[in-house]
Amino acid sequence: GGFYRCSAYPEIEDGAVKRIVQVVDDVTERRRVDGDLRLQTEYLAVLHETALGLIARRDLPSLLLTIVERAAALLGAPHGFLYLLEPGAGAMVLQVGLGAYAAHRGRQLCRGLGLAGRVWQTGRSLVVAGAGDDPAREEPGGAPRRSRVAVPLLAEGQVAGVLGLAAEAETDSFHFDEIALLSRFAELASIAVDNARLYEAVQRELAERRLAEESLRRSEGRYRTLFESAGDAILIYDLNGRLLAANLLACDRLGYELEELLQMAPADLEAPPYAGWFQERMEELRLHGHHFFETVHLRSNGTPIPTELSSRLIEYEGGLAVLAIARDVTERRQMEQRLLHTERLAAMGQLAAALAHEINNPLQSIGSSIELVLDYPLGNAERQEYLEAVRQEVRRLMDVTGRVLDFARPPRAERQPVSAADVVRYALALADKQLEQSHIDIHLDLPEGLPLIHASHGELAQVYLNLIINAIEAMPRGGQLCIAARTAGNAVDVEFADTGAGLSPAAQETLFQPFHTTKEYGTGLGLAVSYNIVQQLGGSIAAANALNGGAVFTVSLPLAPGQEVH
């Protein structure tokens, strides 16, 4: 069976109806694609809600329990477990058990034994229909002997844990879509576990630091040992700002001999404008007895060092002095940026929004083509041309959904020699109706004989179309869009210059970052997706303001192998 769309029209000769022509289109595949898209949207909504619940948790035991509970709820399974690899150990430990696995918390699992052990060994998701289908079975006593599924939790490409579920009835089984959903959930869970472990490590580090500072205050007898063996730079100076002592780490980090350092004032070690705040911080110290702040120290060669400085008043050689513990936080700042980037990419809400944003343009093109076919008397050739465009856009929709669901991964599209000029014309054809309705004039400068570039036609069309749509939105009262292509070394540059309001300095700083948008209803993901595509194709994308007003976006992509600049 299938779905069909029928249409009929009369053929008239000499003022009379001679025959009725009926056209039947098979739309079964289109209905199937629509159903797949709806199912994917439902899955994304569920994963979005789940991701928000996981990312917000920092307590590891609570997070692990939540992971198993939410996984079980996603697939409607009453039994579940989660193993984690103990650092430095050769076995995984059952951290959480639900249902039949609840009584076996703390059980160790060896690599390659049982369903979870084989997932650990292979690094792949595994499904077992029943107890008889698992010859390597080594499960806790009382574990359910029915359909089970287990997926790996990865950390830096290595299996760090195993998440598993078991069905309720012997006749139940896990379907392919459920396994795929659980695998995506496991990716989010892996990120959440890494974040929680990192958070615990930071907390332990802070606790150790507080303990060290407390020890300094309590025991003057241990002072000298701690002073020279501390993992942070230590400076002691009087209330007039004269350095009295510094440990060897401070000398090494700042690049001075001890004698040189003791001839300097604390403010001499800081970069502007921090050096100018020294007296203000001294007043804070006199008032409260301690002060914690961030500054930037300068090495003797001028290299900046982001530093956390914890200062307090102490008794030193019969008078009041300031003990300053300076910690180099360069790596921590980098780690925090990576963590923030990971959390933003891990949020399935971002991907769901990106999916809606990215399929809007091809849907508009499909709608325009269908309107032309249905509402206008077209010849067979024209009708076939628009229907073929619809087919291509449907295929591109399927490609887009697959790519946006995994935004951070390299695109899977096949790269080949592509004409940038042809892709520009293709993208303009897709946006033709919007350009006309928005009163946008197009000026093209696409020289003949441009070398071919190494790219994916579909992905490049997505980038160009997104820039065209952005230009339309930047000119709500109409304007001109100039698109020019030229060779630049071993690349082809394509410029999109509009006559809109241009880019503010703040917008230029965050232009290609996810979630940053200047539009009232924008997702802030369109340019981020385009940036990611261009980067994966080995090119670059840049934005600037034109001298005569408006914004200019330049996409540069490398030439295809064997192409030469003419």
Query: Could you give the CA distance from residue 427 to residue 549 in angstroms, rounded to a whole number?
Result: 24
Residue ranges in the chain whose pLDDT is less than 50:
132-136, 141, 339-341, 343-344, 346-348, 350-351, 353-354, 403-404, 406-412, 520-523
Q: What pLDDT was estimated at residue 357?
A: 57
Judge residue 499's burial from the number of C-beta atoms within 10 Å of its C-beta, 0-12 exposed, 13-18 middle, 19 or more buried.
Answer: buried
Q: pTM above 0.75?
A: no
- Whether residue 246 contacts residue 262, with contact meaning beta carbons closer than 8 Å, is answered with yes
Burial of 396 (0-12, 13-18, 19+ CB in 10 A): buried
Query: Rounded to an integer, what is the distance from CA 183 to the centroid of its chain?
Result: 17
Q: Report d(CA 97, CA 80) in Å as an integer.
A: 6
Helical axes 60-75 vs 176-218, angle rounded to 10°: 170
pLDDT of amino acid 96: 93
Is there a contact between 559 and 504 (Cβ–Cβ < 8 Å)? no
Tokens of 549: 């007003």
pLDDT of residue 446: 94
Same fold, 57-200 and 219-334: yes
Sort 171 into a burial class: Cβ within 10 Å, 0-12 / 13-18 / 19+.
exposed
Crossing angle of the two packed helices 457-474 and 348-375, in degrees rounded to 10: 90
| Residue pLDDT, tens place only, 449-468 | 899 998 888 788 888 988 99
Tell me, what's the pLDDT at 317? 82
pLDDT in tens, 42-96: 566 666 666 666 666 678 888 888 889 888 888 888 999 999 988 776 788 999 9
> Phi and psi dihedrals of 436, rounded to 5?
-65, -45
- At 170 the three-state DSSP class reads coil
The pLDDT assigned to 347 comes to 39
Domains of the chain, by residue range, sit at 57-200, 219-334, 410-558
Fold classified for 410-558: Heat Shock Protein 90 (3.30.565)
Class of domain 219-334: alpha beta
Q: Which CATH superfamily groups domain 57-200?
A: GAF domain (3.30.450.40)
Neighbours of 197 (CB within 10 A): 17
Decide: 465 and 555 in contact? Cβ < 8 Å.
no
